Chains A and B, each alone.
Chain A
Amino acid sequence: MSTAPQVRSLNCTNCGAPLTIRAGGHTLTVVCARCLTLLDARDPALGVLQTFQDRQKVEPLIPLGTRGELRGATWEVIGFQVRRIVVECVPYDWSEYLLYNPFKGFRYLTEYNGHWNFVATLRALPEETVARGRRAVRYLGRAYAQFQSASARTIFVLGEFPWQFRVGEAVYVSDYIAPPQALSVERTHNEEAWSLGEYLPGGEVWKAFKLPGACPPARGIYSNQPSPHGSNARSVWAVCLALVVMLAAMMFLFSVGTLQEEVFQSSYTFSTASKGETSFVTPVFELKGRMSNVEVKVDTDLENDWAYLSFTLINEQSGQGFDFGREIGYYHGVDSDGSWSEGGRDDRVLVPSVPPGRYYLRVEPDMNDEDGRAHSVRYQVKVRRDVPYNLFFWIAGLLLLVPPIFVSLRAAGFEKARWEESSYVTEMRSGGEDE
C-alpha cells in the first residue's frame, strides 16, 4: 500500500518565508503568505508567476489550514481569494475559501456580508427555461430564477489552488436562485463552469470550523438566503386552515345537533284600511326540552312597500316577555341602469336562551299610512326552536385568517427586498445599502 503525497514544506522563491502545500499533486499555484507572491507549484524551482507591491493584505475569517466538518466530511481550508464585481462604479467584494479533502476533492465556501454558501462543482449542465415570468435554469427538476450577472475579478489571493491563477483575469458570473440553493455559472472564453451553492448561516460555519468568538452578523438579505417567513407562512397557513376546517366541522356538527323544531306557523293579513286595534296574539305553543334559542321568521308579499312588525314572545305562566321588532321593506324596479332591487320580503330574528315553557307571540304590524293610500301585506310567521347559530363560527374563521395573511405579507416583503438586490429587477446589484 502506497501513501499519496499531500503536504510539502517549501520556501518562497521571492522572500524565503516557509510555505506549506497542503494538496500536493493538485496544487498548481501557491501564494506566499508573507510577500503575497504567486508561485508555480508544479515547477520544482517554484518559479514566480506574479508579484505585487503595496498589496493590502486581507485576513481570512477562517485561517488557512483550518479543518472543519461540513455535510458529513472533513474539509481543510487551503486557499482564499477575494473577488470583486463593480456595478455602477461601486465595488462589491466577496470572499471564497477553497476547501479540500483528498478523497472527496474540492468545495468552496463563499462569504458576503456575513452570508455564507457551501459550493460544489456541478457535474451537469442546467437547461435554460422560464419560471414565473423570469429567465431561469432547470436542474434536477428544480427551476432556478436568474438573479444577476456581472464580470468578476480576483483582487486578493492566499494559499494554494489546483488551477493556474491569474489575478485580475475577468470571469463572467451569472447567478440563479432557488433558496436556499443557488446555481452559478462562470464563463471564460473557452470554459463554462457551473456550481451549486447552499446557503449556510454563519453560526454553522463557526461551529463546523470551531472558530473562536461569534460569527460576524449577516447584514442585509442575500440572494439565496432562505426566507425566515416563507416556510413559516406555509406552516402558519397549514395550522390556521386546519383550524378553519375544524371550525367548519364543528359548525356542521352543531347544525346537525340542533333540533330545528318548528313549533308554530300561521299566516296573517294586515291592511291600513282596517280600523281599530292592530295588535293580536297568537295561539299558545310549547317550547319543549332544554333552554334553547328561538327563531321567528317572517315571509311577506311586500311590493315596493315596507312594514314594521313588533313582536313580544311571552311566557304564558310567568308573563315574562322578549321584545323585538323588524322592519321589512322590499323595493324593485327598472331604471336606466337596468333592473334593481333593495331589501327583501323576509326576515328573521333569533332570540337567544329562551327557557322551555308555554309561549305565545304578541304581534303588532304597522305600515305607512301617511300618503293617504291603503297599504296591505300578507305575511307568514314561523317559529322554530333550537336552530343553528353560525355567526360565531364565521367570525372565528375570519379571525383565524389574520395571522397567516400577516405572515404572508411579511414573506412577500422579504422576497421583495431579496429581488431588489437582483440586477434583473433594478438593473443594479445593491448590497451596499444594508437592511
Chain B
Amino acid sequence: MSQPVANCPNCGAAVRFRFSSAVQSVCEYCRSIVVRRDVNLERVGEVSDLPPDPSPIQITTEGIYRNRPFVVAGRILYEYEQGGWNEWHIVFSDGKSGWLSDAMAEYAVTFGIIPTPEPLPPVEKIHRGRRFRWYGADYQVTVLTPARYRGVEGELPFEYWNKQQVLFADLRTSDARFGTIDYSERPALLFLGESVEFEALRLKNLRRVEGWDA
C-alpha cells in the first residue's frame, strides 16, 4: 500500500492515493475529481454533494472475503427507479481491486473480468433471459437496470466521472453467483462474483446507525 501525496490541482490541498491501484481520487476539501496522469494530477471534474445514503458501509470499512481482508477505498453511487445503490471499490491486502455492491442491503462481491470470456453483446442486443455459459456456470440476464451515475467518492481503479445514463444487465445463476454487464463503456465491462451475506463479510468500521447494533 503506497501513499504518494500530491497536491490538488484546484485547491492545493494534499491528495493522497493510499492504494497503488488507484487511478482516480476526490479532493476531500474542494471535491475536485483528480486523476493520475503519469506523475501529475489532473482535475477532471467535481462531485456534487451525494444524497443521504442508508448504506452502513463507508470508506475505510474493513471486511473479509474468502479469507482475504479488504478495505473500502472508494465508491460509485448510482440511482435508478427504485432508489440508489453503491458500488464500493474494495482493495485487498495484495493490492487487488474488487467491488462490493450494496443495493438495499443486499451485498455482492465482484471482480472486473478482463478480457471477457467472449465478446459481450452490444447494448441493443442485450435482453432479459439471455444466457451465457462462462467458467462452468450458466448465467442468465435477470434484469436490465437503466441507472443514472450520481457521483463518486474516494479512490477508484479507473477514471470514472463523466457518466450520465448507464445500462446494467444483472446476471444470476442457479446458485449464488452474480454478475453485471456495465454498458457505460464500449466495449461493455463485465464483473463476475457472488452474492454474499452481510455476516459473512465480517465488516468492521461501519457507519453507526442510530438505534441499531451491527
Q: A25 — nearest CB in chain B belongs to which residue?
A: B54
A126 to B176, CA, bound (A): 10
B175 touches A102 (CB 8 A): no
Say yes or no for B97: interface residue by CB 8 A criterion: no
User: B190-214, CB under 8 A of A: which get 1 and which 0?
Assistant: 0000010011000001111111111
Say yes or no for A45: interface residue by CB 8 A criterion: no
Chain A contacts with B in 104-122, Cβ cutoff 8 A = 104-106, 121
Main secondary structure of the interface of A (DSSP, over half): loop
Segment with Cβ contacts to B, from A2-10, A248-256, A301-309, A369-377: A2-10
Which of B128, B140, B143, B176 interacts with A123 by CB under 8 Å? B176
A151 to B199, CA, bound (A): 35
Q: Contacts A4-B53, A102-B56, A123-B178 given; indicate if A163 touches B211 (C-beta within 8 A).
A: no
Which of A7, A105, A164, A192 interacts with B210 by CB under 8 Å? A7
A2 to B213, CA, bound (A): 15
A102 touches B54 (CB 8 A): yes
Name the interface size band of chain A.
35 or more
Say yes or no for A190: interface residue by CB 8 A criterion: yes
A126 to B214, CA, bound (A): 31
User: A263-298, CB under 8 A of B: which get 1 and which 0?
Assistant: 000000000000000000000000000000000000
Say yes or no for B82: interface residue by CB 8 A criterion: yes
- Total of A-B residue pairs, C-beta within 8 Å: 104
Shortest distance between the CB of B30 and any CB in chain A (Å)? 20
Say yes or no for B21: interface residue by CB 8 A criterion: no
Say yes or no for B64: interface residue by CB 8 A criterion: no
Q: Contacts A74-B212, A105-B104, A164-B81 given; indicate if A1 touches B54 (C-beta within 8 A).
A: no
Give the residues in chain A near B83, CB-CB below 8 Å: 25-26, 28, 42, 162
User: A1-38, CB under 8 A of B: which get 1 and which 0?
Assistant: 11111110000000000000001111010000000000
A-B contact pairs, 25 of them (CB 8 A): A1-B58, A4-B53, A23-B54, A24-B54, A25-B84, A26-B83, A28-B82, A28-B83, A42-B83, A101-B105, A102-B105, A103-B212, A106-B105, A121-B106, A124-B172, A124-B173, A124-B177, A124-B195, A125-B172, A125-B173, A139-B174, A140-B175, A162-B83, A164-B81, A164-B82
* Interface set of B (CB-CB < 8 Å, partner A): 52-56, 58, 81-84, 104-106, 108, 128, 140, 142-143, 172-178, 195, 198-199, 205-214
Given contacts A123-B195, A124-B175, 16 further A-B contacts (CB under 8 A): A3-B209, A3-B210, A5-B54, A6-B212, A23-B54, A25-B54, A26-B104, A102-B54, A102-B212, A103-B56, A104-B198, A121-B106, A124-B177, A139-B174, A162-B82, A164-B81
